[in-house]
Structure 1
Amino acid sequence: MASQKWIVSNMPDLSGKTIIVTGGNSGLGFEAVKAFVSKNADVIIACRSLDRGEKAKKEIIRFFPNAQITVMELDLSSIQSIYSFAAKFKKNFVRLDVLLNNAGIMMVPYGMTLDGFEQQLGTNHLGHFALTGLLLEFLRKTPGSRVVNVSSLAHKQGKIDFANLLYVGGKGYTPLKAYGQSKLANLLFTYELQRYFEKNNIDCKALVAHPGVSDTNLFVHIAPKWVMKLIRPVFKRLTQPASMGVLPELRASVDPEAKGSDFFGPDGKYETKGYPVLVRSNAASLDRESAAKLWEASEKLTGVIYN
């Protein structure tokens, strides 16, 4: 591939391309939207709050007055909301070049989605699984389309516990364990999705990225606010800004040399910081039996069947 110092200027012109960014109103998603519109893409900010989405749009338009941005409501913790989003998208758009499944929650206390799923798996994996399936017809008919999922270094500590996948009643739940499971699920889904595309001769690639350790609002649940305030200076030195953390997602989304199942992450020590390069996921993420089993469970839980 090209230079390891891959940055936004390496991105090709995206005129005529339609891109969805889930969670595009803040953090990594916000940076992704900025980068995409800087290269002339039409971008949909898909987020829970229309107000926050519109504020993000206004801020981006200050820098890019000609930006084509549409804000659409999407709550990934609600299957009904995902169906509603997909229906509205179908009415207003004719193609989908990149579906960037960026949104996520991290290490939150035990809770359930509106559909009764443990909320980290429900939001980070099941929501995006359903969304991708409902938009599949657009991915099929758009040549060279891509689905990019966002995992984490935490996948290395993840384990898919099919006997207790949803931590019913909070049994066995810890925030880190559930987060690791959801991020491992992102990888298993990506690799199984790529096999699905190949098996069905669909001109679409499934790729995955992780941002290293990036300074975003995902860290709000790691420690009490007063603790985070005390350690903020140290925390800043250990992390990279969102504008760097987003680069692996961007490269997976637009690098013309990227292939299906490619995994991008930072090139620095332990993959915590740096410029985006190809990285390797752990052995558990490559287990085809687990991937197939998770796919089957995801279809059953969400009711979204890939045809």
Structure 2
Amino acid sequence: MEYLQIEKNASPYTVKYYLNDLETFFSFLNGEGIDQLNQPDQRTVRVFLTSLYNKQLSRRSVSRKISSLKSFYKFLERENMVLANPFMNITLPKKDKPIPGFLYKEELEKLFEVNDLSDPLGQRNQAILETLYGTGIRVSECEQLNIRDIDFSIGTLFVTGKGRKERYVPFGNFAEKALESYINDGRNKLLSKGKNSAESVFLNARGGALTARGIRLILNKMVEKAALTVHVHPHKLRHTFATHLLNEGADLRSVQELLGHENLSSTQIYTHVTKDHLREVYMNSHPRAHN
């Protein structure tokens, strides 16, 4: 745990999943009568993989478990606790690549109209919505935003992402107005209800810092008010941010920077385009699309 937290800068979620994966493996080893970490070999690993597939786990889950255990055995090798890594030559199963869901502009319009902007919580909810869609930041990054991270003079957020990687993300007029309105009015009213002076941008009804779970619940309530039949979670707003940028002609590298992706391959899942956009591009671009 110390190695993951301190040396690898892993998030609490990553540490939690790694430990769960280790417990699954240790439970399997106990069932096989193996009680030493240097005993498993490639045959043991193959039997383990078969047991995972028998549980009908998705390729994504199996892939993550292999990755966790490969990393764990690398750590054991470094600490001279084992001589070889039995997971070293195990190839990760190809992941299913579902196309990320996104919202159409008409659906977004309905969401932006549901909040009462004269109410502190309404102002907060509008600011959350405008921030998530206007910047594409993750819900964990939104949860961690502090007042000092917002620079209204140049219109940027200072964001700490996965692996504590830092980046600046610009925001536009709508997010700026919503944030200013909330920070100058609603947030002060919420702050007066709390005992401590919270630094967090987004506060709950008691004046404390709003959690990621709280942000998800707020979005769900907005969806109910807008009478939308689609499921909207914070990540769907991130998907929508990326899809809309690419559909309007933004280049992939810029979107990669905005999203805080380490690898371009992570951003490439957004290169799907809507049928309407595809038709529009064709009609406007192909020499023989019109008479």
Give the number of the structure whose residues are more often helix, by fraction.
Answer: 2
TM range (shorter): under 0.3
Report the TM-score, using the length of structure 2 for normalisation: 0.24
- Higher share in strand: 1
User: Whose Rg is larger?
Assistant: 2
TM-score normalised by structure 1 residue count? 0.23
